[in-house]
Homo-oligomer: A and B are copies of this chain.
Amino acid sequence: MPPPFTLSVSPRLRSTPFHDRVLAAGVQAFTVYNHMLLPTVYESLEADYRHLTERVQLWDVAGERQVEIRGRDALALVEWMTPRDVGRCAVGQCKYAPLADENGGIVNDPLILRLAEDHFWVSVADSDVLLWAKGLAAGRGFDVTVSEPDVSPLALQGPLAGDVAEAAFGAWTRALRFFRFRETEIDGIPVVVARSGWSKQGGFEIYLRDGSLGGALWDRIRDAGARYGIRPGSPNLIERIESRLISYGTDVTLEHDPFEAGLDAFCDLDKPAEYLARDALAARRGRAPARRLERVVIGGERIEPNMAFLPLHAAGRAAGYVTSAAYSPRLERNVALAMVATKREPGALRVTLPDGSEREVAVADENWRVSGGARIGV
């Protein structure tokens, strides 16, 4: 194990409106996400995981920046960016939508929120979609305004999130459907409350619309959650691997298309609107991709989260790489996501760990069952 890395902080790595609260709550580490500090650990990866899956957490995810697209051609631009049919997204609804370029390469995998017929927020993972959208709009001459508004999300995640949301925002949150949102004010704090979030534990994302009120919003939710055992938390590596939630830049990049990423279900390839990736995706449609993001189980003793890709091989030939790996205390095995070659040599799949040792690997189904489970000792 290398020693922990120290992060040199400068204003280029932007602080969030919740930064003081996060420090006071004892954050232990950050990553950098959209040029912004994103907390990653409070107690420990495993303790945070257990608490998230049993209780409820408040996350500073302001690093999920919004790309605001407004104006007469707003829908046309958003449609052009994604194979998802955004025309069928109602006002007040969110859609998870891979963005794809003219080669079918994934530019980002945001949630798109429709605030009005001609007003969208593209709530992005870690790449400057702002610049891509601005370039597309300027190049095409679209009549739109593309900007990064003063909007900073908090996430409320965990099985008790509904109780805390009701206590903090009111009983109406109980009736809010999945991937629907409401614009509202809480004690004068302007927010958008959505039923969404980057875990599968259930919960809400609360988009703060005035960065000067971050402390007040944090305190309100924290206080409302006190009797439910709320703690600060963050997107959790173990939970998001178990839930197969993609981290853009790790599991999937511009080099991968939605078929390889396993995001076919979020593409409407025959949607009526024009979109940039149509020809590229049409050409590959219905054919098995050369590689695909899979759940895999890594045999043997517990491994540490990987800091770089881990190479996969079969019969001595390259067969892809593990993108995200962690030990799952619930499943009592090492779970991972991996970009696996679909036409690989027959026989056991193996991974090389950072220390040079090898482990057997088995592709798992959506419930983390492996057919070769006995063989790899899980």
A-to-B contact residues, CB < 8 Å: 2, 4-13, 15, 23, 28-32, 35, 37, 40-41, 101-102, 107, 126-142, 237, 247-250, 254, 276, 305-309, 323-324
Q: Which of B10, B127, B132 contacts A247 (CB 8 A)?
A: B10
Q: Within 8 Å CB of A140, what residues of B? A: 139-140
Given contacts A7-B7, A132-B135, 14 further A-B contacts (CB under 8 A): A4-B7, A5-B6, A5-B9, A5-B29, A6-B41, A7-B31, A15-B307, A32-B32, A101-B134, A107-B131, A127-B128, A135-B138, A138-B139, A139-B140
Q: Which of B4, B10, B15, B138 contacts A6 (CB 8 A)?
A: B4
Given contact pairs A31-B13, A139-B139, A134 touches B134 in the complex (Cβ within 8 A):
no
Complex copy number for this chain: 2
**16 A-B residue pairs with CB within 8 Å:** A2-B23, A5-B7, A6-B7, A6-B41, A7-B30, A7-B31, A10-B31, A11-B250, A11-B306, A12-B247, A13-B31, A131-B135, A132-B135, A136-B138, A139-B142, A140-B140
Among A138, A139, A237, which residue has the most Cβ atoms of chain B within 10 A? A139
Complex Cα gap A307–B7 (Å): 11
The minimal Cβ–Cβ distance linking A145 to chain B, given in whole angstroms, is 10
Within 8 Å by CB of A28, from B6, B10, B107, B141, lies B6
A4 to B12 Cα, complex, angstroms:
17
Are A307 and B11 touching (Cβ within 8 A)? yes
Residues of B within 8 A of A4 (CB): 6-7
User: Chain B's nearest CB lies how many Å from the CB of A15?
Assistant: 6
A32 adjacent to B5 (CB under 8 Å): no
Chain B residues near A134: list those with CB within 8 A: 101-102, 132, 135
Chain B: minimal CB distance from A36 (Å): 10
Q: Which residue of B lies closest to A310 (CB)?
A: B11
- Judge whether A7 and B29 touch: CB under 8 Å: yes
A126 to chain B, nearest CB (A): 6
Residues on B with C-beta less than 8 A from A139 are: 135-142
Question: Is there contact, CB below 8 Å, between B32 and A13?
Answer: yes
**Which residues of the other chain, B, contact A247 by a CB distance below 8 angstroms?**
10, 12
Are B41 and A8 in contact, CB atoms less than 8 angstroms apart?
A: yes
Does A249 lie within 8 Å of B12, measured CB to CB? Answer: yes
How far is the CB of A293 from the nearest CB of chain B, in Å? Answer: 13
Does B32 contact A6, Cβ atoms closer than 8 Å?
A: no
